[in-house]
């Protein structure tokens, strides 16, 4: 499959303290596997330095931008884009606006990891909080309420890993469309794209984010698609992109999305047939 039309925009750097490899190494890997573009979207700084231990500090932000710039200069064979993965927090709009003005981004990614202060639901540290079906229902409800707000906010070019609360395999009973519908409607209103994040295949849930049913609903609604790896190491760039493309084609998508200076362009997905 020719991946030359695809971009991987969801990638990290060592500044977030849980990724390895410099942007230049990620860019070289992207060239090696034939991707058309690569973008960086490390975890954003928080207003308070002691917020948590898995993101760059505010004073490291200029270093982040220069490392991405260094990759752009060192690997001219591929377009290198600048993004940021921003945590959507309740009442966090002023900080999002400040972060959004700090660099000439190509795109911004919105994510929900926190459903309450100190409660980042994808952190294995808190696995003991997923105690039973009532708690799973509550966590999913709180998460999706914020996720729909994040989608509706219009701050972001695309939003990340929709059904992240399934990461450790926890899913509520019943039809999950009750969680998906408000998020899809919100993204439609704001014109925000949504990613297929291939890292889910490597988590306990063993399924891409989002579930196939969500993808079908997204395509029916006409929401633009992005394919992302969420790479935390150079070798993860573009991981499972062929599999994700086949799934996208199978759920009815015909295009993915590219971003430059916060303008989106639709590009045809590669055909599912191996070259
Ligand atoms: Zn991360
Ligand atoms: Zn990420």
Q: What is the block-wise mean pLDDT of the chain (275 residues), using blocks of 10 residues? A: 96 98 98 98 97 98 98 98 98 97 98 97 95 95 98 98 98 97 98 98 97 98 98 98 98 98 97 61
In a domain, 1, yes or no: no
Domain that holds residue 158: 7-268
Nearest residue to 162 (alpha-carbon basis) of 116, 200, 191, 189: 200
In a domain, 196, yes or no: yes
Q: Provide the pLDDT for residue 271.
A: 86
E strands in 78-129: 79-82, 85-87, 109-111, 114-116, 119-120
Query: What length does the chain have?
Result: 275
CB 85 within 8 A of CB 43: yes
- The rounded Å distance from CA 203 to ligand 1 centre is 13
CB 207 within 8 A of CB 240: no
Tell me how far apart the alpha carbons of residues 275 and 273 are, in angstroms, rounded to a whole number: 6
| Among the bound ligands, the one closest to the CA of 161 | 2
In a domain, 275, yes or no: no
In a domain, 197, yes or no: yes
First to last CA, the chain: 5
| Sequence-distant (≥ 6) Cβ neighbours of residue 113 within 8 angstroms | 87, 120, 121, 122, 123, 164
- The rounded Å distance from CA 7 to ligand 2 centre is 15
pLDDT digit string, tens, across residues 236-264: 999 999 999 999 999 999 999 999 999 99
Nearest residue to 76 (alpha-carbon basis) of 24, 41, 125, 111: 24
- The rounded Å distance from CA 275 to ligand 2 centre is 30
Structure tokens at 40: 């960086």
In a domain, 274, yes or no: no
| Among the bound ligands, the one closest to the CA of 229 | 2
What is the tally of structural domains in the chain? 1
Q: Tell how strand 119-120 and strand 114-116 pair up.
A: antiparallel
- The rounded Å distance from CA 44 to ligand 2 centre is 10
Tell me how far apart the alpha carbons of residues 232 and 215 are, in angstroms, rounded to a whole number: 24
The single residue listed with the structure tokens 């039973």 is 132
- The rounded Å distance from CA 161 to ligand 2 centre is 8
In a domain, 174, yes or no: yes
In a domain, 226, yes or no: yes
CATH at residue 16: 3.20.20.140
| Among the bound ligands, the one closest to the CA of 20 | 1
Phi, psi of 88 (to 5 degrees): -90, 115
Tell me how far apart the alpha carbons of residues 170 and 173 are, in angstroms, rounded to a whole number: 10
Nearest residue to 39 (alpha-carbon basis) of 64, 63, 56: 64
Element counts in the chain: helices (H) and strands (E): 7, 12
In a domain, 2, yes or no: no
Q: Provide the pLDDT for residue 103.
A: 98
């Amino acid at each position: 499959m020719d991946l030359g039309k695809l971009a991987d925009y969801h990638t990290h750097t060592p500044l977030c303290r849980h990724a390895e490899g410099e942007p230049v190494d990620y860019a070289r890997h992207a060239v090696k596997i034939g991707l058309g573009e690569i973008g960086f979207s490390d975890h954003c700084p928080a207003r308070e330095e002691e917020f948590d231990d898995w993101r760059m500090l505010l004073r490291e932000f200029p270093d982040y931008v220069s490392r991405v710039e260094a990759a752009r200069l060192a690997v001219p064979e591929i377009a290198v884009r600048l993004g940021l993965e921003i945590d959507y927090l309740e009442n966090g709009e002023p900080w999002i606006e400040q972060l959004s003005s700090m660099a000439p981004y190509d795109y911004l990614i919105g994510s929900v990891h926190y459903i309450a202060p100190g409660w980042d639901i994808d952190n294995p540290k808190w696995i003991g909080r997923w105690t039973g079906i009532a708690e799973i229902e509550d966590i999913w409800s709180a998460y999706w309420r914020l996720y729909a707000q994040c989608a509706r906010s219009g701050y972001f070019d695309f939003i990340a890993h929709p059904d992240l609360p399934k990461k450790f395999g926890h899913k509520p009973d019943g039809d999950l469309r009750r969680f998906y519908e408000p998020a899809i409607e919100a993204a439609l209103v704001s014109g925000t794209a949504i990613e297929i994040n291939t890292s889910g295949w490597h988590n306990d849930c063993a399924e891409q984010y989002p579930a196939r049913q969500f993808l079908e609903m997204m395509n029916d609604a006409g929401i633009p698609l992005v394919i992302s790896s969420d790479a935390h190491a150079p070798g993860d760039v573009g991981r499972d992109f062929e599999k994700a493309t086949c799934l996208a084609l199978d759920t009815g998508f015909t295009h993915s999305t590219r971003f430059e200076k916060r303008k989106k362009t639709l590009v045809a997905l590669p055909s599912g047939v191996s070259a």
